[in-house]
Homo-oligomer: A and B are copies of this chain.
Amino acid sequence: MPEASADKVERWGIFELELEGEAGGNPFVDVTFQARFSHGHRNVGVNGFYDGDGLYRIRFMPDVPGEWTYETQSNCEALDGRSGSFVCVAPGAGNHGPVRVEDTYHFAYADGTPYYQVGTTCYAWVHQGDELEEQTLATLREAPFNKLRTCVFPKRYAFNENEPVYYPFERGADGGWDFARFAPEFFRHFEKRVGQLMGLGIEADLILFHPYDGGHWGFDRMSAEEDDRYLRYVIARLAAYRNVWWSLANEYDIMGTKSMADWDRFFRILCEEDPHQHLRSVHNCRTFYDHGKPWVTHCSIQSGTDNVAAWRDAYRKPVVVDECCYEGNIEHGWGNISAQELVRRFWIGTVKGGYVGHGETYLHPQDVLWWSKGGVLHGESPARIAFLRKLLEGGPPRGLDPVRWRPHWDMWGAGKGDDYYLFYFGERQPAEYTFEPPGENEYRVEIIDTWEMTVTPLEGTFTGRFKIELPGRSFTAVRMQKA
């Protein structure tokens, strides 16, 4: 019995099937509901979810053009054996599909467009009410970031004393949270924000668990069964958004309420239940999760950026230093580096072959710090990060790998093959420098001021061993491209 539904869905867009079903009892627990989506001989199993008011939904992101059919299965008769079809058509402008790992250490969109991760962090922005949330979206529209780290659960922490607008669960008869009943309103709001990020071309790195609750709400100390159900519900609701990345936790290692076996099990659930296999990672405080485990797609790291090349070698995956301390002026060590230092860390991470994330923590009279609540940006680093992103986008499509030859130990360079090099001198201020790239390429050479955001070409071309003059200022870079 074919259903009425959208008959055309763009590639990597969202097909959604809405059905009416059982509203009594606890549909979140009692009702099973899946569908099999088929394209030719290919079948993909997808879980549906209960959205309240007797409504059930299944969402699916078709990744191949052409005709798709589906058929549902459920223990609720009204939801079982429903079938239909739609046509997957070409993606719209700005839709490049989900981001995948590419060439071991890098990322690309599914359509092959390069993706150079330039992230930022607003942990609790979706819990601040429409006015501030819309301001955050307006800021992001003009900002250089193409990934945002966001917690699903609300946050209780320094500068985060306010209650959220929505809560993820319903309250039970005793006034406490009923972890077996999700609050659809919460998730509809959350999805709207994820969809708006998608519209801005921003990947949503969704943080599924975090320790900044401390029992205040208790979302950090649910039972294993409750955790798993929550995880499955989030996957069912959100996996069809092409811009979703899964971050199992922020600072997983300071969540005393979870064991390593829990984290491993959560990864297994993501692998099994996400039909679209979004990127998966887990973010540390002090101790790394073993990023070498096969279900981890990339390293999500809190640390300085000096060791990026070593982590690439150790894990053979893309390295994203999501948190290398934030530009700001609070007393906490993770939130008071200068813009200059944050930009330096971005550059070091880049020329060591990795990707870096931004955050901002300037004191604010209403405690609206970008790092958690969003709002507007006050710092000096975003403009420089935008400049770096533009350089990356003008560089090799598959990212930069550390250069293994270099004249001195005090500088770093990255490139691709022998055709492109980007060298960075950090706080060093040489007034001249000798290069000796291998091979016989002729290079055009440009001097980059990473702080003033200027690119100054040198006259002529260079080959073999050559010495160039440099401005003798800190934060200089040199770009060499095959002429």
Contacts and interface: CB of A to CB of B under 8 A. Distances in A.
A110 interface: no
Interface string A324-349: 01001111111011101100000000
A462 to B, nearest CB: 15
A260 interface: no
A341 B431 contact: no
Contacts of A425: 336
A429 interface: yes
A427 interface: yes
Contact of A363 (B336, B362, B363, B432): B432
A431 B338 contact: no
Contacts of A434: 331
Nearest to A468: B331
Question: Could you say which of A407, A411, A472 has the most chain B C-beta atoms within 10 Å of its C-beta?
Answer: A472
Nearest to A362: B431
B336 A429 contact: yes
B363 A431 contact: yes
Interface in A288-318: none
A42 to B, nearest CB: 51
A112 to B, nearest CB: 39
A405 to B, nearest CB: 15
A428 interface: yes
A471 to B, nearest CB: 9
B472 A430 contact: no
A362 B430 CA distance: 9
A78 B362 CA distance: 82
Contacts of A336: 410, 425, 428-430
A328 B472 CA distance: 9
A333 B410 contact: yes
A408 interface: yes
Contacts of A472: 329
Interface residues of A, number: 31
A411 to B, nearest CB: 7
A433 interface: yes
Contact of A329 (B338, B409, B427, B429): B429
Contacts of A427: 337-338, 340-341
Contact of A433 (B325, B331, B432, B433): B331
Contacts of A362: 431
A329 B407 CA distance: 15
Interface string A411-432: 1000000000000010111111
Contacts of A332: 408, 410
Question: Could you say which of A340, A408, A429 has the most chain B C-beta atoms within 10 Å of its C-beta?
Answer: A429
3 smallest beta-carbon distances between A and B, as pairs = A333-B410, A329-B431, A329-B472
23 contacts: A328-B429, A329-B429, A329-B432, A330-B431, A331-B407, A331-B408, A332-B408, A332-B410, A333-B408, A333-B428, A336-B410, A336-B428, A336-B430, A337-B427, A337-B428, A337-B429, A338-B474, A340-B474, A341-B427, A341-B474, A362-B431, A363-B431, A363-B432
